Amino acid sequence: MKQLTAIIQPFRVDEVRDALHEIGITGMTITEVKGFGRQKGHTELYRGAEYSIDFVPKIQIDIVLRDDDVQPAINAICQAAQSGKIGDGKIFVKPLEHVIRIRTGETDDSAL
């Protein structure tokens, strides 16, 4: 099992969710986050004053998957989230040792 974390642009979340749903992935956690990478924020003008935005709003999607589902999920996210511009995001894949469904006590693959 793996945990996949994708950091994407906020305006791409619907496309990514739909792309994942099309390949049979329906369970995910979505969180509004802020951060920066190479994008390094930007400046904005508000009431005539310029100010710096150091942290850019992003969406973090966390999904727990069977090993066989990881590459199709990565492909779906990349296709749906890519705009071709800086700040499209990143995907992180981490090994997952154990999953437990609290309600039933099911573990690992059966808990997914």
From start to end of 1-112, where are the E strands?
2-8, 29-35, 42-46, 49-53, 56-65, 89-95
Phi, psi (deg, nearest 5) at residue 17: -60, -45
- Whole-angstrom distance, CA of residue 6 vs CA of residue 63: 9
pLDDT of residue 97: 94
Q: Is the dihedral of CA 75, 81, 85, 87 positive or negative?
A: negative
Q: Could you tell me if 45 and 91 are in contact, meaning their C-beta atoms sit under 8 angstroms apart?
A: no
pLDDT of residue 55: 79
Fold of 2-110: Alpha-Beta Plaits (3.30.70)
Q: Could you read off the pLDDT of 23-42 as tens digits, one per residue?
A: 999 899 999 998 877 766 66
Q: Could you read off the pLDDT of 67-108 as tens digits, one per residue?
A: 999 999 999 999 999 998 888 999 999 999 999 999 999 999
pTM, rounded to two decimals: 0.84
- Whole-angstrom distance, CA of residue 91 vs CA of residue 43: 26
pLDDT of residue 32: 97
Q: Could you read off the pLDDT of 10-21 as tens digits, one per residue?
A: 999 999 999 999
CA angle 14, 15, 16 (to 5 degrees): 90
Sketch the domain layout of the chain as residue ranges.
Answer: 2-110
CB atoms within 10 A of CB 62: 15
pLDDT of residue 40: 67
